[in-house]
Structure 1
Amino acid sequence: MLPCIREARRPMSVMSAADHRIPLDVAFQLVDPKAYADGRIHEAYRWLRKNEPFGVADVEGVDPFWVATRHADILEISRQNSLFLNGARSPVLTSQVADRKVREMMGGSPHLLRTLIHMDEPDHMKYRVLTQAWFLPQNLRAMEDRIRVIAKGAVEKMLATGGRCDFVKDVALHFPLHVIMSIMGVPEEDEGRMLKLTQEIFGAADPELGRDAAAQADVPLEERQLDFGVITDFFDYYRRFSEHKRAHPSDDLGSLIANSQVDGQPLSDLEAMSYYIIVATAGHDTTSSSTGGAMWALAQNPGEFAKVKADPALIPSLVDESIRWTTPVKTFMRTAAEDTEVAGRKVAKDDWIMLCYASGNRDEAVFEDPGLFRVDRRPNRHLAFGYGAHLCLGQHLAKMEMRILWEELLPRIKSVELDGEPAMSEAVFVNGPKRLPIKFELA
């Protein structure tokens, strides 16, 4: 069943004014997980930045939403957290069917979880400060030696393959996973389970990663359901984990969350489980994607590999460029708290807005030759970590992990190239490399 343009079910200011609707063939790319895997989304973003940088996508099965594709507009919306809300509607693109199902289950709330990305003030900062100190640069420095040991182990495992490996499956997935799980206090034997659940929640639409994705591949968008079983499995695991950390607290992040209070009250079951899930998933998946994205780009650009190999001082710049290039968090949604104006267009209260970070990170007005991967790109004002109050809590940890891994890996290899067909995951919200066969020479 093909999507079709039709009158909006939820009134939007532009629908009765000048027609700023995005052509259907372009709009559909924004909601099609396959477009994020095969690169068509970047073609759509280029067209939108040039022709309709702030327009309305109206696709069957999803409430109409504004689409912000320019760096400046994404920045402007992101810095106004009281005007553009996370909590009023889903902060992640969701179908009408899934939205109705969640509201039925959650007593009218559009949120299946209650993480930091679902909160506005005053709650957002109250919950953010619970763990914020763990992720400050001065505190992370104390973890550097432990992270380097983990990185060395990951490099040795890669080198032991004899010159051929799937860099995603053998290195990029497991290194940041082990780091964040050790910080949380999750037993190492449970890391495989956490990885599988993370892939199932972020790769829900991917037939190789999602638990029920293959069965839903031919289901029209407007009829697709969420797989609530993944959330249930996460809850079951972290409920037992939290009980253990309350009874036997230690100096890990998991114990901190289990025993935290807000306004003098312990976190509710939903809040604690949500906190664990966001740290456990976002705490490694996005870092894995950026690391894999960097190796993919280096394998395709031997000149850039040679540049950073010859000058290790470029490693921090390589890290930032890989984050810009991959932009693992592709989109977030915001909801207008009142009538306002964006990019000269009237936005009505309750209008839904998609922030397209991967588009902003290739905005020709901000980045010179944005379609090129440059390990020495400076300045690099990418938006991959967001902006404003919701700036990524773990950004410094992610950059430290990647820096340390490259410091350990680059001196050990002489060259790298692709050794087969790489692949990206099929996902609108968070996506990145899921397969990256490479061959390399030892230094």
Structure 2
Amino acid sequence: MNSIPALDPENSRAVIDPQSYANWDSLLDRFDAIRSQSPVVRVNGVEDVHRPFWLVTGYDEVMQVSKDNATYLNNPQTVVFSLNEGIAFAKAMTGGSEHMVASLVTFDAPIHMQYRKLTQEWFMPKNLKTIESEIRAIANRAVDRMLDAGPDIDFVKQVSGPYPLHVVMQILGVPEADEPRMMMLTQQMFGGQDEDLNQSGMAAMTPEQITQLVAGAVKDFEAYFAGITADKRANPTTDVASTIANSMVDGEPLNDRDMMGYYIILAAAGHDTTSASTAGAMLALAQDPEQFAQVKADRTMLAGIVEEAIRWTSPVQHFMRTVATDTQLGGQDLKQGDWLMINYVAANHDPAQFDDPRRFDAGRSPNRHLAFGAGAHQCLGLHLARLEMRILFEVLLDRIETVELVGNAPRAKSTFVGGLKSLPLRISAA
């Protein structure tokens, strides 16, 4: 009988420690070492802190889990790693569900596809062409503000943060005056592990207090979008919020919890991730003047820049899955009910799939990264994210002559959604 490979206590703690994800190179070193031992390893739970789970670091294994939605479920256990007390709090808040928010991310078949189809057409390239000029105008205004503030700027705070937020709020019908509120709520939900991002003094809070703050953010989102729903039912437009507000499933309007979950996943997940990839691309270009000059002269490289930035930064760092039936993965025997973490950071830096994975290579081909997931749960907004990034960099490359990194570019302390929290640059206008 083969022994089950299990992580030692130090690595077990590091995998779930937000600080580890801020120490990027050390984290990648750690994943390389773990993957070389086994692409699927057991992280033994600490009974009063968290459940045991399987950590999946190999590209092939993460792809296998992502595409097999019958064996690996998004329910009933939470899809984002949580400590026991966070899970207990979510169940108390929701009446038994481990998911604080019910959304596409938490649904399994058949309801997942029923809900996904409601807006899938809206996010396809053909429809997105209708808002391309609007996105370009938003990009130009962002670059206007950046140039006015220059030559020394923080690209995250002045461009890569507000730009995708403004785009996603426009398509949700949220007035520009309410965007700071949406940014704060998102940071409380996803930036909650980093004291510089959550804007709420979380550094001094207990895990239970942090969970309560996140729950409060969810409630605030729900209250806000209840008003949006009423308006879009009375005055429907072509935006995606109108589509959600007026959608029917099995002949019935969406219930309040599911509808609010739909808004929240689009509002929150739709900008933090693109912000992270955008900042990653800019960091790579600032560190490599030759590559910056090449793409400035040859815009056909832009698609490669965008795709490589998404892989290189891997903004969504993990999801959790629950094993539906006894199976094998990466040579390990998994049992029904087992919890596992598919780690996209590790998979997107697997040297078996990506040559020299830590190098930013705009010409990388093929680049079948997993930053958008794969299979039925592949990110609904992937075409929008690529479009936003392409347009912004077209505008940036037209309007700036040089870019230089002038300080440290720290990454957020977060196990779930991560990226640069600051990017100090010196720019010159074209």
State the TM bucket, normalised to the shorter chain: over 0.9
Residue 77 of structure 1: aligned partner: 65
1:30-429 aligned within 5 A: 30-39=15-24, 40-60=26-46, 61-210=49-198, 211-216=200-205, 219=206, 225-227=211-213, 228-429=215-416
CA–CA separation in structure 2 for the residues paired with 1:365 and 1:431: 24
C-alpha deviation, 1:88, in angstroms: 1.7
CA–CA separation in structure 1 for the residues paired with 2:361 and 2:398: 19
**Residues 16-36 of structure 1, C-alpha deviations (whole Å, 9 max, x = no match):** 961311112112111101111
Moved more, 179-188 or 43-52: 43-52
Counterpart residue type for residue 36 of structure 2: K
Backbone CA RMSD of aligned residues: 1.6
| Contact residue 80 and residue 388 of structure 1 kept, 8 A | yes
**Residues 289-332 of structure 1, C-alpha deviations (whole Å, 9 max, x = no match):** 10011111221222322222222110010000100011100000
Counterpart residue type for residue 31 of structure 2: Y
| Contact residue 4 and residue 332 of structure 2 kept, 8 A | no
| Contact residue 114 and residue 274 of structure 1 kept, 8 A | yes
CA–CA separation in structure 1 for the residues paired with 2:113 and 2:154: 40
**Structure 2 length normalisation: TM-score?**
0.95
Moved more, 134-143 or 50-59: 50-59
SS in 2 for 1:105: helix
Distance change in 2, residues 1:225/1:147 (3 Å): closer
C-alpha deviation, 1:411, in angstroms: 2.4
SS in 1 for 2:122: helix
The gaps in structure 2 that reach 5 residues or longer are none
SS in 2 for 1:233: helix
Moved more, 433-442 or 117-126: 433-442
The gaps in structure 1 that reach 5 residues or longer are 1-15
| Contact residue 91 and residue 334 of structure 1 kept, 8 A | yes
| Contact residue 202 and residue 210 of structure 2 kept, 8 A | no
CA–CA separation in structure 1 for the residues paired with 2:360 and 2:388: 20
CA–CA separation in structure 2 for the residues paired with 1:148 and 1:62: 45
Task: List structure 1 runs of 4+ shifted beyond 3 angstroms.
Answer: 221-226
| Contact residue 335 and residue 353 of structure 1 kept, 8 A | yes
| Contact residue 62 and residue 347 of structure 2 kept, 8 A | yes
SS in 1 for 2:373: coil
SS in 2 for 1:332: strand
**Residues 97-136 of structure 1, C-alpha deviations (whole Å, 9 max, x = no match):** 1111212222222111110000000100010011111101
| Contact residue 192 and residue 210 of structure 2 kept, 8 A | no
Percentage of pairs with the same residue: 44
SS in 2 for 1:113: coil
CA–CA separation in structure 2 for the residues paired with 1:141 and 1:67: 40
C-alpha deviation, 1:178, in angstroms: 1.1
CA–CA separation in structure 2 for the residues paired with 1:102 and 1:405: 38
C-alpha deviation, 1:404, in angstroms: 0.7
Residue 27 of structure 1: aligned partner: 12
SS in 1 for 2:341: strand
Moved more, 146-155 or 268-277: 146-155
**Residues 174-222 of structure 1, C-alpha deviations (whole Å, 9 max, x = no match):** 1111111111111111111111111111011111222352123xx5x79
| Contact residue 127 and residue 262 of structure 1 kept, 8 A | yes
Counterpart residue type for residue 119 of structure 2: T
Counterpart residue type for residue 73 of structure 1: E
Counterpart residue type for residue 377 of structure 1: R
| Contact residue 405 and residue 426 of structure 2 kept, 8 A | yes
Counterpart residue type for residue 129 of structure 1: K
**Residues 59-89 of structure 1, C-alpha deviations (whole Å, 9 max, x = no match):** 5311011011011000011110011000121
Counterpart residue type for residue 30 of structure 1: V
Moved more, 266-275 or 406-415: 406-415
SS in 2 for 1:117: coil
Matched, 1:18 2:33: no
Q: How many residues align?
A: 425
Distance change in 2, residues 1:243/1:223 (3 Å): closer
